[in-house]
Amino acid sequence: MSNLGKTTSYNVQALIAVVDDIFKVLEETRDMLDHWRDEYHKPFIEKMWHLQTLRQRMYALGYSNDFVDTVIKIVYRNIFIKTSCLV
């Protein structure tokens, strides 16, 4: 039973790190879009690939598709819409 607690604690800590990275990627993307320049095409695509990688990391931690989508929607809305973070 204590192993389950350690695994859960690890998953939560790993999830926090991934969510922090999602915030960072989406904030950088927002800033890029706010000041768009032609040379941002490649960096924009790289940010979207990184976001996909972060999504895959959450799946690898055992989180469901619905949970992952909800987390990303909340972060997206917090950064791009600036209203309530409720889904």
Neighbours of 44 (CB within 10 A): 14
pLDDT of residue 3: 40
Q: Work out the pLDDT band at 56, boundaries 50, 70, 90.
A: very high
List of residues 6+ apart from 72 with CB closer than 8 A: 22, 51, 55
pLDDT of residue 11: 87
* Residue boundaries of the structural domains of the chain: 2-81
Model confidence, pTM = 0.81
Please say if the pLDDT value at position 5 is more than 60.
no
Greater model confidence, 63 or 5: 63
The string of pLDDT tens digits covering residues 23-35 is 999 999 999 999 9
